[in-house]
Structure formats: structure tokens, C-alpha cells
């Protein structure tokens, strides 16, 4: 097993760039998500990138997909989170001094050491950033006790309820209407 999941050699690159495709495997994702409530999804994702050299910098453009499972914010059931987004980063040589405190503006700049570009942390950060704050198992998740109070209402039917809910101020009007209707009937009959 390689020491890193997403790595390539700078020596392999020329100015026109080179395409790479790495699977985002569940086994790697599990390591990333260790200690969180999240789990790897059922399907592997993929990191598909084109890397090219600009001087000593390495420009990485591509897409990242990944699948993970996190507790639904409403019902605590499994919510499948599918990550599918662009990934762009500039890798500069040498260890950046402020590596641990990247501001959002600097977040798309990383560093590499020696001749090997390692994107594990980039991919990890991107995945963690893309996880929604309020993950839901479905858009219309009803919450902890779905339908417990709703079902009897639907089964008893709305008709009786509607009559009960008539605004009392409208009752005289309703009686007037009923009276008129019965008059018409009388005339006809």
C-alpha cells in the first residue's frame, strides 16, 4: 500500500500537463472520517485531475466525487452525502510556514516537498468542507416521529374537520344560503 492515496511525481509532469485519476476508496475515507459520526458511503468516489507545471509550481485542476454517510439532522437516520465538485489548487514547493492557519483566500494554495505532490490533505479538506451543515436523509424528511399524529387525521377524512373549522362569524351567512336554497327547492316543487 502506498504511503499516500493521492500522489504523483513532479518529474512526470511537463508544461502541457498530465491527467491523473485516483479512486476515493472507502478504506481511505474511513481513515479521514475516523472519530466523527460519519462513515464512508457504499460507492467509491474519484479524484480526476490534470496537473501541469508553471515554473516550480504545480497547478492542479479537476473534479472530486465522494460518497459518505452521516446522521440525518432531523431523524438521525442515515443521510447519504454525495460530494461532486471542482477541485483547483496551486501546489508550491517547500513547506508553507502558515500551513496550519490558511485563511479562506489561501485555501487553494498548498505545498509539496521534494519531487512528490501529495493531495491527501487537499482532498480531505475539500470533502470536509463540502459536507452540508444540516445533512438530511431526504429533502422532506419529517423528523423523529414521522406521521405519528398525522395519520389518524388523514384516515378520518377532512370533511368533519372542515365543518368544525368554519368561522363562527360565517355561520349566519351559511344559514342564509341554506335558507335560500330550500326556498328555491320549494318553488320548484
CB of 41 to Zn ion, least distance (A): 16
Q: Does 119 bind Zn ion (CB under 5 A)?
A: no
Of 51, 33, 47, 188, give the one whose Cα is nearest residue 112: 51
For β-strands 78-93 and 109-112, DSSP reports them as parallel
How far from 27 is each of 1, 36, 43, 66, 134, CA to CA, in Å? 12, 15, 11, 12, 25
Residue 130 CB: number of other CB atoms within 10 A?
15
Site string for Zn ion, 6-45 (x = CB under 5 A): ----------------------------------------
**By C-beta, is 110 or 135 nearer to Zn ion?**
135
Choose between 70 and 118: whose C-beta lies nearer to Zn ion: 70
Instruction: Take residue 98 and report the three cell numbers written for it.
Output: 502558515
Instruction: Tell me if 75 contacts Zn ion by CB under 5 A.
Output: yes
Among 38, 68, 91, 137, binds Zn ion (CB under 5 A): 137
Binding of residue 74 to Zn ion (CB under 5 A) = yes
Q: Which is nearer to Zn ion, 97 or 134 (CB)?
A: 134
Amino acid at each position: 500500500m502506498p504511503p499516500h492515496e493521492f500522489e504523483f511525481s513532479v518529474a512526470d509532469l511537463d508544461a502541457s500537463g498530465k491527467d491523473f485519476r485516483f479512486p476515493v476508496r472507502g478504506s481511505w475515507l474511513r481513515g479521514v472520517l475516523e472519530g466523527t459520526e460519519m462513515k464512508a458511503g457504499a460507492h467509491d468516489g474519484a479524484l480526476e485531475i490534470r496537473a501541469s507545471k508553471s515554473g516550480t509550481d504545480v497547478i492542479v485542476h479537476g473534479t472530486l466525487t465522494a460518497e459518505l454517510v452521516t446522521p440525518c439532522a432531523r431523524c438521525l437516520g442515515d443521510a447519504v452525502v454525495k460530494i461532486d465538485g471542482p477541485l483547483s489548487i496551486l501546489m508550491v514547493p517547500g513547506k508553507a510556514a502558515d500551513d496550519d492557519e490558511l485563511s479562506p483566500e489561501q485555501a487553494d494554495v498548498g505545498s509539496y516537498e521534494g519531487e512528490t505532490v501529495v493531495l491527501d490533505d487537499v482532498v480531505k479538506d475539500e470533502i470536509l468542507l463540502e459536507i452540508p451543515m444540516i445533512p438530511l436523509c431526504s429533502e422532506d424528511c419529517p423528523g423523529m416521529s414521522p406521521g405519528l399524529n398525522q395519520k389518524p387525521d388523514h384516515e378520518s377524512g377532512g370533511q368533519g374537520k372542515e365543518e368544525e373549522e368554519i368561522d363562527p362569524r360565517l355561520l349566519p351567512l351559511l344559514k342564509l344560503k341554506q335558507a335560500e336554497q330550500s326556498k328555491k327547492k320549494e318553488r320548484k316543487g
